[in-house]
């Protein structure tokens, strides 16, 4: 039996959700955590770690660990040079080709790294269904949400990642559209909605109209270079300068980055916090600095203000003003920052929806769309738009636009062209995306050659070029010479996409490494269990009355056995011997069994002290 899920493949964290009893539900791990950090680490034995374990390895093996890969999806090396400056891994590739990420002596493409994250989400979902029911469900289909401003190459790269992970991608859905579905705004009779989505790596603003079951995106705008990662990089650079370290030192950068991210999170709840780094190899003297919310807002105000321009442009493209918006929805973890919320409220003149967790809302909406596609239970029409104009390069390097931006998709357009030389039998077609008039100022999506044109004088052939965008925002192009009826249909391969041969090779490698990946998963689960027991033990030993309890309740030598077992467990989780970790966890469980009993008894006695049985 198989299941279909909704996935938010995020820059910082990723999630998977499905519809249960008519309502979308995010799938959580055994500790209740819904987020899978979008981090992948390659061990010295080529074991692949994903999620929390990979995130921990950022501090110990930064050069072997990749994060924020979503920013590189469907993009070329010339686009990402500045972003690679603070990253601990190598980012390279040939000009005009797909980005290559160098880790542990191996090269990976962004879709390959994303596929590791998608496989982890797939595994989490399958484990959940196995534990939740009597059948084993294979998760083989998914709806994946992407930023509304993702171009054709980025959407194709996302599809490639799904295919590598063993998923049939039923639909690529825009994140703002998914968020609106999660809020149930599609069930309103009518209304106009602004979705403000500031995530880890991208910013989107979409204006949507809901009317009698028709869910139409009126306009979209955004910035695929703007998100919470930029705030983290700004704070990291500030602290590195303060302590006098070079950004090239990977372990130091990651240690500082972890501290500033925690401070950023704290300042969404409190007015003041401390950036704290304990003395260690990365920062020998340690670091402490008080920072206020006002300090943070002063530093990031320019970044937040960069989101206002796209919002105003989207409103203008939709022919609306702020007063015409009925609902404002916040999406993305960065919208928790109070300055961001104030900026949104000032722009639209109304408080925003914040009823759902902004980290989870996109995955929930993707699950709703997956359920609609699977069951057809709801009569609803999604009318999305293409974020940028599409066209081709013509004589003189000019852009001829065939499908204009904010055209409702699915969309199509056609244009007539001819040859520029006598007896020309082939025409080079350069597919572009962007709003500029010159081809050199637009983004190159693909190049191909239409062959087989009969030799004729220049200007005589009539070549019709037709663009078609499907419901996922993926572009295909067909060309036909009308005088002779010679026709070719071309599946456009984005310049920054993977070839079929590359995808096939990656799939074969995933099968070859399946056993090692399974062993890595078992090791991670053993470490997680050990850390849970260690945390519970340390929490008990931090009780104010622990010393009294130990002296009065524990047997002679028992305290020493607990300390030894705790130290052994801490040592074990730093290694890669799964059996040793499990043995150390079992030994710590056994050593603390009596402590747990006496702690519980004492807590019960304290709770019942001075109370009458009848009161209970």
Tokens 């609902």: give the residue. 327
What are the angstrom distances between the C-alpha of 421 and each of 479, 486, 488? 19, 19, 21
Parallel, antiparallel, or unpaired: how do β-strands 426-433 and 443-451 relate? antiparallel
**Residues 6 or more apart whose Cβ sits within 8 Å of residue 499:** 493
Cα gap 25→319, rounded to integer Å: 36
CA 484 to chain centre: 48
Q: Write down the catalytic residue from 160, 197, 204, 230.
A: 197
Cα gap 272→533, rounded to integer Å: 32
Is the N-terminal amide bond of 410 cis, ω within 30° of 0?
yes
Cα gap 49→55, rounded to integer Å: 9
Is-catalytic flag, 70? yes
CB 1 within 8 A of CB 138: yes
In degrees and rounded to multiples of 5, residue 78 shows phi and psi of -70, -15
Q: Write down the catalytic residue from 8, 160, 229, 371.
A: 8
In degrees and rounded to multiples of 5, residue 382 shows phi and psi of -95, 120
Cα gap 221→174, rounded to integer Å: 12
Tokens 């899920």: give the residue. 5
CB 370 within 8 A of CB 18: yes
Q: Write down the catalytic residue from 112, 126, 160, 175.
A: 175
Is-catalytic flag, 264? no
Cα gap 166→380, rounded to integer Å: 28
Is-catalytic flag, 8? yes
Residue among 480, 439, 317 at smallest CA distance from 386: 317
Tokens 């500082």: give the residue. 256
Q: Write down the catalytic residue from 70, 122, 258, 264.
A: 70
Is-catalytic flag, 175? yes
Residue among 606, 176, 199, 595 at smallest CA distance from 366: 176
What are the angstrom distances between the C-alpha of 541 and each of 86, 423, 474, 546, 559? 40, 87, 57, 6, 10
**Residues 6 or more apart whose Cβ sits within 8 Å of residue 487:** 478, 479, 480, 481
Which of the residues are catalytic? 8, 70, 175, 197
């Amino acid at each position: 039996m198989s299941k279909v899920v909704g996935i938010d493949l995020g820059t910082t964290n990723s999630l998977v959700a499905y519809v249960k009893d008519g309502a979308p539900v995010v799938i959580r791990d055994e500790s209740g955590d819904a987020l899978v950090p979008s981090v992948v680490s390659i061990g010295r034995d080529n074991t692949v770690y994903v999620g929390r374990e990979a995130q921990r390895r950022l501090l110990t093996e930064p050069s072997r660990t990749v994060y924020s890969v979503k920013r590189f999806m469907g993009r070329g090396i010339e686009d990402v040079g500045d972003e690679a400056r603070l990253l601990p891994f190598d980012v390279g590739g040939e000009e005009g080709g797909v980005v290559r990420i160098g880790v542990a002596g191996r090269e990976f493409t962004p879709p390959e790294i994303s596929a590791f994250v998608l496989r982890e989400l797939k595994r989490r979902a399958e484990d959940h269904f196995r534990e939740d029911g009597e059948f084993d469900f294979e998760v083989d289909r998914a709806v994946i949400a992407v930023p509304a401003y993702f171009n054709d190459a980025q959407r194709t790269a996302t599809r490639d990642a799904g295919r590598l992970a063993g998923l049939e991608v039923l639909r690529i859905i825009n994140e703002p559209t998914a968020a609106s579905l999660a809020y149930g705004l599609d069930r309103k009779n009518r209304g106009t909605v602004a979705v403000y989505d500031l995530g880890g790596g991208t910013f989107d603003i979409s204006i949507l109209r809901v009317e009698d079951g028709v869910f139409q995106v009126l306009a979209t705008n955004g910035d695929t270079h703007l998100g919470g990662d930029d705030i983290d990089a700004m704070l990291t650079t500030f602290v590195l300068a303060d302590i006098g370290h070079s950004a090239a030192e990977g372990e130091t950068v990651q240690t500082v980055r972890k501290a500033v991210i925690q401070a950023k999170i704290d300042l969404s709840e409190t007015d003041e916090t401390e950036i704290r780094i304990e003395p260690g190899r990365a920062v020998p003297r340690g670091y402490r600095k008080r920072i206020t919310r006002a300090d943070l807002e002063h530093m990031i105000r320019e970044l937040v203000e960069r989101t206002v321009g796209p919002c105003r442009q989207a409103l203008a493209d939709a022919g609306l003003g702020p007063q015409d918006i009925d609902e404002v929805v916040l999406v993305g973890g960065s919208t928790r920052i109070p300055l961001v919320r104030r900026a949104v409220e000032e722009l639209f003149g109304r408080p925003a929806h914040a009823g759902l967790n902004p980290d989870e809302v996109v995955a929930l909406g993707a699950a709703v769309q997956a359920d609609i596609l699977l069951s057809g239970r709801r009569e609803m029409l999604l009318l999305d738009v293409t974020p940028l104009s599409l066209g081709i390069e013509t004589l003189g390097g000019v852009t001829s636009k065939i499908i204009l931006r904010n055209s409702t998709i699915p969309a199509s357009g056609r244009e007539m062209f001819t040859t520029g030389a006598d007896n020309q039998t082939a025409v080079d077609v350069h597919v572009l995306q962007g709003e500029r008039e010159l081809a050199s100022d637009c983004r190159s999506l693909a190049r191909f050659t239409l062959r087989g044109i009969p030799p004729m004088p220049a200007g005589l052939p009539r070549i019709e070029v037709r663009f078609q965008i499907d419901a996922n925002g993926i572009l295909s192009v067909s060309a036909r010479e009308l005088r002779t009826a010679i026709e070719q249909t071309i599946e456009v391969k984005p310049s920054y996409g993977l070839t079929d041969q590359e995808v096939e090779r990656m799939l074969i490698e995933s099968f070859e490494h399946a056993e090692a990946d399974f062993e890595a998963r078992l090791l991670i689960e053993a470490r997680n269990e050990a850390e849970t027991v260690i945390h519970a033990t340390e929490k008990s030993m931090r009780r104010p009355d622990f010393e009294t309890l130990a002296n009065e309740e524990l047997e002679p030598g028992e305290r020493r056995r607990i300390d030894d077992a705790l130290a052994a467990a801490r040592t074990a989780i730093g290694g890669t011997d799964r059996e040793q970790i499990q043995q150390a966890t079992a030994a710590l469980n056994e050593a603390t069994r009596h402590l747990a009993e006496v702690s519980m008894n004492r807590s019960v006695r304290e709770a019942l002290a001075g109370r009458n049985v009848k009161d209970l």
